[in-house]
Amino acid sequence: MKNLVVHKPNELIEIVGNPITAQGLVAYNFILHKFQTEKKDRILISLSEVFNALDMSDNYEELYGYLDSLQRIRVESKDEKGRIWGAFNLLAEFRKFGSLIFFQIPDTIFKALCGNDENQKELYYTTIKLLEQRTYRCSYTIIFYEIFKKFEKINLPIYTIEELKELTGTKDKYKEYKYFKRDVLNTALKELNQFSNKYQYSFEEKRLGRKINEIKFIRTDKNIIDVVESQISDKLLNSIEKARKNRFIDKSYSQKSMEKLLQKYEEKDIIKALGELYKYNSEIKSFSKILTSKIEDIKNSKMDKIKENQGYTLGQEQIETAFKSDFTEPKKSDLDIEKEKVSNLIRNSDLSTNKRMNLWSQLAEIQNLEDLEKFKNNL
């Protein structure tokens, strides 16, 4: 059973129905692995192999309980609008023949497991590491583990409390949210974070009136946390995490870009820029460009303030000396100089916050003086 891996179709991940024990899910993944290995929709497996693989005692009644619960679960597939377009059971049939067990899976699952379309596998399959799953003691942990695996390459979805209760089989168990949060969400995510080497998971509560109605799950790369913690203060780390609660920022966020910005700009300027971007409400093409533009605007504002405090009596050399302790100004190109002028115009204009943020984003995309001139003509 070492390094046992099964590629599980995404349709099998969001299971709505009765709760499944941790051992029951591990048993099902083992069965899927056998089907995928033998490329057949019906197979015979020796009882001794099953017991050994699942670290179970030779208790067929216990195994029957797991298999019976799996066969009773009905999986409903829904489209993006929530409409049901298909349904199937996890197991089509299982029977004991002496020292062997016969298994059959539905044709839908068999085609998904053993299809030859590599692009389809890449799109629809999620890699499930069975050895990792054995470490989990809470059945809810494995449910969230598989959901998060499904959405590993895209943003995690927002679920209503009712949807989460259906997925975890706790609809009738927890009437009050505070107990569901304590026993399901907090317990599962705490255990998941203990054993996950790649991601740290958390969640944000969304209210409808005074009642908590939805949960937004947040995924943070642990490598990002390790790198950032070694370079910056907790204050900046908290600013990054807060900013990424904005879905537009989270979608475009780049750790490499953040590392480069840390080398170029002062931490306090980055924190202030992140704070202002937190309320941004449009698609972001380049996280690096829009944050750089915002930081530059903050720096320009500092320069103007210094000039104002000095009553415009200082020469350029004196101004640079006074400002040097705050940042080291890189040599600017003609394009950068012109962009600063436009940036000041945008900042000083009587514009709404949304309009100003959109202009900053557009300004960050400009690559040459000709593009800048066209942009200025449209202001």
Average pLDDT over residues 244-263: 80
The CATH number of the domain holding residue 192 is: 1.10.10.10
**Is residue 17 domain-shared with residue 100, that is, in the same domain?**
yes
Average pLDDT over residues 276-303: 84
Q: What is the pLDDT of residue 369?
A: 63
**Is residue 256 domain-shared with residue 347, that is, in the same domain?**
yes
Distances (CA, A) of 143 to 19, 26, 149, 340: 10, 11, 10, 51
49 falls within a domain: yes
**Is residue 262 domain-shared with residue 352, that is, in the same domain?**
yes
313 falls within a domain: yes
**Is residue 114 domain-shared with residue 213, that is, in the same domain?**
no
End residue of a domain, out of 196, 231, 266? 231
Q: What is the pLDDT of residue 314?
A: 47
Regarding pTM above 0.75, the answer is no
Average pLDDT over residues 118-131: 50
236 falls within a domain: no
Does the pLDDT at position 76 exceed 50?
A: yes
**Is residue 192 domain-shared with residue 315, that is, in the same domain?**
no
**Is residue 253 domain-shared with residue 290, that is, in the same domain?**
yes
Does the pLDDT at position 344 exceed 80?
A: no
Parent domain of 47: 1-134
Q: Give 357 or 178, the one with higher predicted confidence.
A: 178
Q: What is the pLDDT of residue 325?
A: 47
**Is residue 55 domain-shared with residue 113, that is, in the same domain?**
yes
When pLDDT is cut at 50, 70 and 90, the band that residue 1 belongs to is very low
End residue of a domain, out of 205, 231, 257? 231
E strands, 71-157, in order? 74-78, 84-89, 93-97, 100-104, 125-129
Where residue 45 falls (left for φ over 0; alpha for ψ -120 to 50; beta otherwise) is: beta
113 falls within a domain: yes
Model pLDDT for residues 143-200, shown as the tens digit of each residue: 888 888 888 777 888 999 999 999 888 988 898 999 999 999 999 999 888 877 778 8
Q: What is the DSSP letter of 327?
A: -
**Is residue 284 domain-shared with residue 310, that is, in the same domain?**
yes
Does the pLDDT at position 130 exceed 80?
A: no
73 falls within a domain: yes
**Is residue 57 domain-shared with residue 172, that is, in the same domain?**
no
312 falls within a domain: yes
**Is residue 98 domain-shared with residue 29, that is, in the same domain?**
yes
Average pLDDT over residues 66-95: 76
Distances (CA, A) of 66 to 22, 31, 60, 364: 10, 12, 10, 57
Here the tokens at position 108 are 């839908």
**155-169, 214-228, 242-256, 310-324: which range is least confident on average?**
310-324
In the chain, the number of structural domains is 3
**Is residue 348 domain-shared with residue 286, that is, in the same domain?**
yes
To the nearest whole number, what is the mean pLDDT of the chain? 76
**Is residue 20 domain-shared with residue 86, that is, in the same domain?**
yes
